[in-house]
Structure 1
Amino acid sequence: MQLFESNELKIYNSLTGKKEIFKPINEGHVGMYVCGPTVYSNVHLGNCRTFISFDLVFRYLKHLGYKVRYVRNITDAGHLENDADAGEDRIAKKARLEQIEPMEVVQRYTVDFHNTLNKFNNLPPSIEPTATGHIIEQIEIIKDILEKGFAYEMNGSVYFDVIKFNKTNRYGKLSGRNVEDLIHNTRETAGQTEKKNPQDFALWKKAEPQHIMRWPSPWSDGFPGWHLECTAMSTKYLGEHFDIHGGGMDLKFPHHECEIAQNEAATGQSPVNYWMHANMLTLNGKKMAKSTGNNILPNEIFSGDNNILSKAFSPSVTRFFMLQAHYRSVLDFSNEALLASEKGFFRLMEALGSLKSLAISASTSAFDVNSWKNECYEAMNDDFNSPILIANLFEAVKHINNIKEGKETISENDLSLLSEAMNTFIFDVLGLVDAATEENDSDKLSSTIELLIKLRAEARANKDFATSDKIRDELAEIGIQLKDGKEGTTFSIQ
């Protein structure tokens, strides 16, 4: 289905600060890159909101008929936190605390990330490259930037020269910052590092003797800077100039700003036409933070095992809650908000079920379905405005209930059109899952795990500990933990 020719999609471009008509570089094709997670802990709900937002973008572009190459990376390299000049990288720190290999940390939390997004019914990206799988590409970009004079080596590390770059380009164009202000704000720290200027950022860091994750390079055994990996992977799979780059609002500066600078220094052109940023998620009006306890993990929502919510909420209800706010708006997560979303979600699903049994009682309809459908497209074409789309869906719910009660009439053609459009927008575009299907899948999973627990108990009774351990370990690998107790074996899904 090719709808894009007759639709005028507008995207809010963070680079220009305004909505712009979307025109892909190659007609009918879209290249989109989204910054993925650093896999050192369980993916948090704020990150999930970002990935759900771009799943909506991905789904809608596909629905319009575009062939989309969606690239989302996994940060599994040992760069320092926020690309700092000193300290310990988060993956290595977790490995040291748990006395395991860094790549065990990476594997564990990559699996958690995939499992969590699967529960939210996110579509997988077209390509999911890793930072460690693209060290060679990163080294080649550093060589290129050095050759063009926008970087310098110092004691085995390589830094991007922001001041020199800013003489011919504009560093800060995305975030609206200017280098003069940055210099003024960081003057006190000058001389405390080996960099020429505090604003300069690492392209390559020489590894300290105790640093675990390291690779050979022309400058030292070390590791790439945080910003460089996204430049390497986005350009490798989407080209030096592509359509959309997305991520959380917190990545606008310095991460995305540095990406633009690296690309322009290496290629001489701006890398991306449309920069998109999803806003933050707060909890009870305050910023989510593990350190303060004002935090909740997705699986704690689904299981009800938390001190914040009054009950468990399904992944689809949680996804629906997130999509009820525009991706560029701050969204506050609370028990009251989830309860209201659950009520609305079930109203939507009930109306969808009613469509199958509605009576056709006229050749014309009281409800103008064509006009309503156009309003749904207008909402999504206005920078993926999911809350307005959902409001339109509830407008349809009102008419469906009126038809059901005999207060309105609908023709056979309009009923078919309404049914198709409701299913398309609810399932294909918003990516929701029917509550009955979700519960059925959950019941099937529980039954399967209980069967494996029974087979494991039989193996243990027969002293076949190899099989018993194999069942336990392989379930653990996919995030299902078995716990043996006096009352028998129970399980939890991580």
Structure 2
Amino acid sequence: MPLYTSQPLKIYNSLSGEKEDFKPIHEGNVGMYVCGPTVYSNVHLGNVRTFMSFDVIFRYFLHLDYKVRYVRNITDVGHIVDDVDEGEDKIAKKARLEQLEPMEVVQRYTVDFHDILKAFNFLPPSIEPTATGHIIEQIEIIKKIIDKGIGYVANGSVYFDVVKYNETNNYGILSGRNIEDMLANTRDLDGQSDKRNPQDFALWKKAEPEHIMRWPSPWSDGFPGWHLECTAMSTKYLGNHFDIHGGGMDLKFPHHECEIAQNEACTGQSPVNYWMHANMLTLNGKKMAKSTGNNILPGEILSGDNNILSKPFSASVTRFFMLQAHYRSILDFSDDAIVAAEKGYKRLMEAVETLPSITAGNTSSIDFGAWKQLCYDAMNDDFNTPILIAQLFEAVRYINLLKDGKETISTEDLASFTAAVNAFVFNVLGLSDEKNADEDDKLEGVVNMLIGMRNQARADKNFALSDQIRDQLIALGIQLKDGKEGTTFSIQ
């Protein structure tokens, strides 16, 4: 039986404001969409925290034996500065400042995004679509919204009529905002004269002559609205109605609110069952901002090249630090906090490394089954990683008692306990044992040195020494493979 049948899960749904029993649309399958980065700069630490939260959620669904389709997009069109309908395209602005083609900007920062997430041990999503790869789908959605009488064309741009939509629907259902209050409190800004109402948002914008990124459409040469991108990509790969949509708390309004409106206007149904939002990250008690210098990039934590922290910290320590807070709570990043997290991380890893040396007995003096269920209870309660970590430190206490011979464990319980500790530490939380990683690096260095010595011996026609190096490595379980590109090795 799949594990999810015995581990009922509750998820906090931003739409209802309550924890709800998770019931997927299709049993055993989960469809999840998360708003990805706009690739015009290095990925922010706050973004990494959001994506890490959903990485753990993805990992836990997989651990529960669900089949998961996880879609996380790349916004490479470059929506408007400050996410409003007037202003300048972020990617185009960066391209002009650096005298680059916009897609050079996109490529540079997409690579940076992937490199950072790989360093922090993220699993790749099932699908990573780009906004520019789905212009046709976005145009088709706009046509449907216009046909329903909720989209209108003005001077080559297309807008979503929020007031018209609200006659039969609820614009504000996710954020709790009231359309009448929004209209009353919004002054008519210059440059919004094409709109019927100040709250209307762009589905398609006509490009000005100097605008670099543009595509042909029935209405003008232009570019799609920001909100429309995610509607097109989520529904293409997950259908008009799917399980989970996630993102940062800052996207709840207007981005996710507009997504709901577009979907309902287009298909007549609510697109998502569970809306999930990760909270923000602060630095030394204040909002992170480049302008004030209260800012640090993920790569700067790893390199130590910053004036915020006392030394470099590894990706696993940083990950462990972030998971000590629930994804829906604000997390404050500081030197003191990550130093403390490093100590906790090392204590946890030392205990995990001790497990293989524990000797089993005939009986168990501790109820390890109950401990294991408490770990599941933590994750089943809206993915509560801090409670799970607390249970893992209870496991550390057990391991130390077993090591000192103060408690006993049966062979069966030891196998189950070891498997559970490793599953929650490495598979669910996604931590890495960096001590072992360092040892792997050292082993690779030594073997490559011996390969170099063997190559020199062969060049000197000292075949006896060459064969001796090869044979002694084989005896140690290290197989050399000579090929056109040189010599590689594998551990048997």
Asked if Structure 1 and Structure 2 have the same fold, meaning a TM-score greater than 0.5 normalized by the shorter chain, the answer is yes
1:162 aligned partner: 162
2:459 aligned partner: none
2:309 aligned partner: 309
- Kindly report which structure 2 residues correspond to 1:33-112, keeping only aligned pairs within 5 A, or say none: 33-112=33-112
2:350 corresponds to 1:345? no
Q: Distance in 1 between matches of 2:440 and 2:293?
A: 32
1:429 aligned partner: 428
Post-superposition Cα deviations, 1:248-300, rounded to whole Å, max 9, x if no partner, equal: 00000000000000000000000000000000000000011112111101110
Residues 167 and 6 of structure 1, relative CA distance in 2, 3 Å threshold: same
Shift of 1:2: 1.4
Between the aligned residues of both structures, percent identity stands at 74
| SS of equivalent to 2:56 | helix
Partners of 1:317 and 1:338 within 8 A in 2: yes
Residues 104 and 160 of structure 1, relative CA distance in 2, 3 Å threshold: same
2:114 corresponds to 1:117? no
1:482 aligned partner: none
Post-superposition Cα deviations, 1:143-178, rounded to whole Å, max 9, x if no partner, equal: 000000011100000000000100100000000001
Q: Distance in 1 between matches of 2:311 and 2:432?
A: 20
1:265 aligned partner: 265
1:131 aligned partner: 131
| SS of equivalent to 1:187 | coil
Shift of 1:403: 1.2
Residues 101 and 190 of structure 1, relative CA distance in 2, 3 Å threshold: closer
| SS of equivalent to 1:152 | strand
5+ residue gaps in structure 2? Answer: 450-492
| SS of equivalent to 1:363 | coil
Shift of 1:446: 9.4
Post-superposition Cα deviations, 1:217-245, rounded to whole Å, max 9, x if no partner, equal: 00000000000000000000000000000
Residues 9 and 159 of structure 1, relative CA distance in 2, 3 Å threshold: same
Q: Distance in 1 between matches of 2:314 and 2:442?
A: 13
| SS of equivalent to 1:203 | strand
- Kindly report which structure 2 residues correspond to 1:250-289, keeping only aligned pairs within 5 A, or say none: 250-289=250-289
Q: Which amino acid aligns with 2:339?
A: L
Post-superposition Cα deviations, 1:57-99, rounded to whole Å, max 9, x if no partner, equal: 0000011011000000000003312442322111011111110
Partners of 2:43 and 2:112 within 8 A in 1: yes
Partners of 1:82 and 1:226 within 8 A in 2: no
Q: Distance in 1 between matches of 2:99 and 2:445?
A: 32
5+ residue gaps in structure 1? Answer: 451-494
Residues 422 and 165 of structure 1, relative CA distance in 2, 3 Å threshold: same
Q: Distance in 2 between matches of 1:315 and 1:444?
A: 21
1:439 aligned partner: 438
Q: Which amino acid aligns with 1:388?
A: I
- Kindly report which structure 2 residues correspond to 1:84-483, keeping only aligned pairs within 5 A, or say none: 84-189=84-189, 192-360=192-360, 362-440=361-439
Partners of 1:24 and 1:243 within 8 A in 2: yes
Residues 189 and 370 of structure 1, relative CA distance in 2, 3 Å threshold: same
| SS of equivalent to 1:24 | coil
Post-superposition Cα deviations, 1:426-478, rounded to whole Å, max 9, x if no partner, equal: 0010000002134346668999999xxxxxxxxxxxxxxxxxxxxxxxxxxxx
Post-superposition Cα deviations, 1:183-229, rounded to whole Å, max 9, x if no partner, equal: 11103538843111110000000000000000000000000000000
Q: Distance in 2 between matches of 1:94 and 1:445?
A: 41
Q: Distance in 1 between matches of 2:444 and 2:284?
A: 33
Partners of 2:40 and 2:78 within 8 A in 1: no
Partners of 1:190 and 1:197 within 8 A in 2: no
Residues 353 and 101 of structure 1, relative CA distance in 2, 3 Å threshold: same
Partners of 2:157 and 2:206 within 8 A in 1: yes
Q: Which amino acid aligns with 2:368?
A: V
2:8 aligned partner: 8
Q: Which amino acid aligns with 2:24?
A: P
Q: Which amino acid aligns with 1:132?
A: T
| SS of equivalent to 2:240 | coil
Q: Distance in 1 between matches of 2:305 and 2:424?
A: 32
Q: Distance in 2 between matches of 1:342 and 1:350?
A: 12
| SS of equivalent to 1:4 | helix
Larger radius of gyration: 2
Partners of 2:215 and 2:222 within 8 A in 1: yes
Partners of 2:38 and 2:78 within 8 A in 1: no
Q: Distance in 2 between matches of 1:444 and 1:331?
A: 38
1:465 aligned partner: none
CA RMSD of aligned residues (A): 1.8
Q: Distance in 2 between matches of 1:444 and 1:294?
A: 40
Q: Which amino acid aligns with 1:383?
A: D
Residues 308 and 219 of structure 1, relative CA distance in 2, 3 Å threshold: same
Shift of 1:397: 0.4
Residues 165 and 449 of structure 1, relative CA distance in 2, 3 Å threshold: farther
Q: Which amino acid aligns with 1:114?
A: H
Partners of 2:86 and 2:191 within 8 A in 1: no
Q: Distance in 2 between matches of 1:11 and 1:340?
A: 30
Q: Which amino acid aligns with 2:103?
A: M
Q: Distance in 1 between matches of 2:194 and 2:447?
A: 58
1:470 aligned partner: none
Residues 438 and 253 of structure 1, relative CA distance in 2, 3 Å threshold: farther
Task: Return 192-201 or 326-335, whichever deviates more.
Answer: 192-201
Residues 41 and 447 of structure 1, relative CA distance in 2, 3 Å threshold: farther
Q: Distance in 2 between matches of 1:442 and 1:142?
A: 53
Q: Distance in 2 between matches of 1:108 and 1:443?
A: 31
Q: Distance in 2 between matches of 1:267 and 1:190?
A: 33
Q: Which amino acid aligns with 2:420?
A: A
| SS of equivalent to 1:396 | helix
Q: Distance in 2 between matches of 1:305 and 1:190?
A: 43
Q: Distance in 1 between matches of 2:226 and 2:250?
A: 14
Q: Distance in 1 between matches of 2:93 and 2:397?
A: 54
Q: Distance in 2 between matches of 1:412 and 1:266?
A: 59
